[in-house]
Amino acid sequence: MKKIITLLVLVFTAWLSQAQTATLKAGDAAPDFKLKNVDNKEVSFASFPKAKGFIVVFTCNTCPYAVAYEQRIIDLDKKFRPQGYPVIAINPNDPEASKADAFNKMQDLAKDKSYPFPYLFDAGQVVTDQYGAKHTPHIFIVSKTPKGNVIEYVGAIDNDPEGTKAEKTKYAEDVIAALQSNKKPIITQTKEIGCTVKRKAKA
Q: Residue 64: pLDDT above 80? A: yes
Dihedral over Cα of 28, 186, 162, 82: its sign: negative
The C-alpha atoms of residue 9 and residue 62 are separated, in whole angstroms, by 36
The C-alpha atoms of residue 68 and residue 86 are separated, in whole angstroms, by 20
pLDDT at 26: 97
Relative orientation angle of helices 171-180 and 64-80, to the nearest 10 degrees = 20
* C-beta neighbour count of 6 within 10 angstroms: 10
Residue 155 main-chain phi, psi, to 5 deg: 145, -130
**How do residues 71-129 score in pLDDT, each as one tens digit?**
999 999 999 999 999 999 999 999 999 999 999 999 999 999 999 999 999 999 999 99
Where b means 16+ CB within 10 Å and e means fewer, 81-94 reads beebbbbbbbbbbb
Residue 90 main-chain phi, psi, to 5 deg: -130, 130
* C-beta neighbour count of 80 within 10 angstroms: 22
pLDDT at 21: 72
The C-alpha atoms of residue 35 and residue 170 are separated, in whole angstroms, by 28
**How do residues 1-33 score in pLDDT, each as one tens digit?**
544 543 443 334 333 344 447 999 999 999 999
pLDDT at 23: 96
Closest to 117 (Cα-Cα) out of 43, 33, 197, 31: 43
Q: Using only C-alpha atoms, what is the Rg of the chain?
A: 18
Closest to 81 (Cα-Cα) out of 115, 125, 112: 115
pLDDT at 19: 42
Give percent of the chain above pLDDT 70.
89
**Position 200 confidence tier, pLDDT thresholds 50, 70, 90:** confident
Residue 58 main-chain phi, psi, to 5 deg: -85, 115
| pTM for the whole structure | 0.88
